[in-house]
Amino acid sequence: MMSVSKIEVASEDNGKGEYRAPAAEKVLDILEFMAGQPDGLTQTEISTGLGRSIHEIYRILLLLEKRGYLVRTRSDRIRLSLKLFELAHMHPPVNRLIERALPIMRDLAANTDQSCHLAVLDDVKVMIALQVDSPLPMRYSVALGSRFPVMETSSGAVLLAGQPIQEREAAIARIVDSGDAYGSRQEIEERFTKIGELGYEMHASLVVDACINISLPVCDHTGLVIAALTVPFLPQKQARFDREEVLKKTIEAAGRISAALGAPERLL
């Protein structure tokens, strides 16, 4: 089998001057196929789904995992990482999520006097994908691309609470093992239950004193929670709105972003 570090170039195809690169095609086939598999797949399931033998894709899977495009869960399932998402942030235009969220988040910041950010899951951490600052001189800001342990943040708790049960259970096990649980397994489950009942989390920040995180899930067209919209509410004299009013406006903003992504109406 040819090394996956090389690209095979075939002769001209159909006399049109078009060249094929079989190894590159396999890489793209895998990435495009895995993009529609949020729960991950086993190596055998990937092979079956692509209609290729395990022998054909084995070394490519290893290379993609080594380069950080694929990650392997404790249950030995393989899923797409956020590396492509990160690369999109290094080169405009940014992806659909950011394009839809940005104007809504700008409105939210202007109409609440609070900063806000959008976070996504990256295994058992959250990554800040978008940050909009408060219009006030004193503000809370999180650096774009920053990563935090999931349970350290309301964004992470809301994101994880909205994941399919098997993925959530596997993630909780890894979090507990890592020592970043910020509570017992039972306390984590109770936190998720409360988020499920309320549809959001309003929780004192574990990082910044006097800051109250208000976090809402953002759903895509399939109804899957793909991001969390969070306002780190910082009370100050110049702010025109109290926490309850900010909560109401954040709920509305999260609903608008989800609607812009085509989320089912029953979720809005």
What does the alpha-carbon distance between residue 230 and residue 253 come to, in Å, rounded to a whole number? 10
Domain end point (choices 51, 81, 111)? 81
Same domain, 66 and 37: yes
Quote the percentage of the chain above a pLDDT of 70.
88
What does the alpha-carbon distance between residue 251 and residue 191 come to, in Å, rounded to a whole number? 19
Query: Could you tell me if residue 187 is inside a domain?
Result: yes
Query: Could you tell me if residue 100 is inside a domain?
Result: yes
Q: Residue-wise pLDDT tens for the chain (268 aa)?
A: 333 343 343 444 545 555 678 888 888 888 888 887 877 888 889 999 999 988 888 899 999 988 988 988 877 889 888 787 677 655 433 468 888 999 999 999 999 999 999 999 887 889 899 999 988 887 788 888 888 989 999 999 999 999 988 888 888 888 888 788 788 888 888 999 999 999 999 998 888 878 899 999 999 888 889 999 999 998 887 878 888 999 999 999 999 999 998 888 777 6
DSSP track, 243-255: HHHHHHHHHHHHH
Same domain, 61 and 89: no
Same domain, 133 and 256: yes
What does the alpha-carbon distance between residue 71 and residue 235 come to, in Å, rounded to a whole number? 40
What does the alpha-carbon distance between residue 120 and residue 227 come to, in Å, rounded to a whole number? 5
Tell me which residue range forms the domain holding 26. Answer: 22-81
Query: Could you tell me if residue 1 is inside a domain?
Result: no
Same domain, 116 and 247: yes
Same domain, 112 and 74: no
Angle between the N-to-C axes of helices 22-34 and 54-66, in degrees from 0 to 180, rounded to the nearest 10: 70
Predicted local distance difference test score (pLDDT) of residue 210: 81
Query: Could you tell me if residue 9 is inside a domain?
Result: no
Query: Could you tell me if residue 146 is inside a domain?
Result: yes
Query: Could you tell me if residue 17 is inside a domain?
Result: no
CATH number of the domain where residue 182 is located: 3.30.450.40
Same domain, 123 and 36: no
Same domain, 77 and 116: no
Predicted local distance difference test score (pLDDT) of residue 6: 39
Predicted local distance difference test score (pLDDT) of residue 19: 64
Residue type for 241, please? Answer: F
Residue type for 212, please? Answer: I
Average pLDDT, the chain: 84
Same domain, 61 and 103: no
Closest CA to 111 of 225, 256, 209, 228: 256
Domain end point (choices 33, 59, 81)? 81
pTM of the predicted model over 0.75: no
Count of structural domains within the chain: 2
What does the alpha-carbon distance between residue 166 and residue 97 come to, in Å, rounded to a whole number? 25
Same domain, 42 and 123: no
Query: Could you tell me if residue 15 is inside a domain?
Result: no
Query: Could you tell me if residue 16 is inside a domain?
Result: no
Same domain, 137 and 61: no
Domain end point (choices 65, 81, 97)? 81
Same domain, 68 and 97: no
Predicted local distance difference test score (pLDDT) of residue 88: 60
Same domain, 134 and 234: yes
